[in-house]
Amino acid sequence: MFHGLHCLNSVRLALEAAFNVSSPFAHQFFEAPDSFGHLQHCLTYLRQSLLCAADATLETESEHTPGGVAGNGVAHMCRDPSGNTEMLVRSL
């Protein structure tokens, strides 16, 4: 879970750097060695995480999103992440 959050933040920073070159993250991202390789790793990790924890909840078509789904109003069963947090705290 924590690795996934790290990767999601890395993707966020890369997008910010790409779309806002005056961002303090732009120089840091583009100058870092192997930043693109790390971003590729993170996207692969996130893809695998999504496939591993696949949510098979059916979502109906949205009349406000032609040909697509909005996901609004559909109950999804989430896992409780507190066990992961407790385990991390105990290991420190």
Q: Which pTM does this prediction carry?
A: 0.66
**Mean pLDDT of all residues belonging to the chain:** 82
Placement of tokens 């840091």 in the chain? 28
Residue 17 carries which DSSP code? H
Check residues 42 and 34 and name the one with the higher pLDDT.
42
- Which pLDDT score is estimated for 83? 82
- Which pLDDT score is estimated for 47? 93
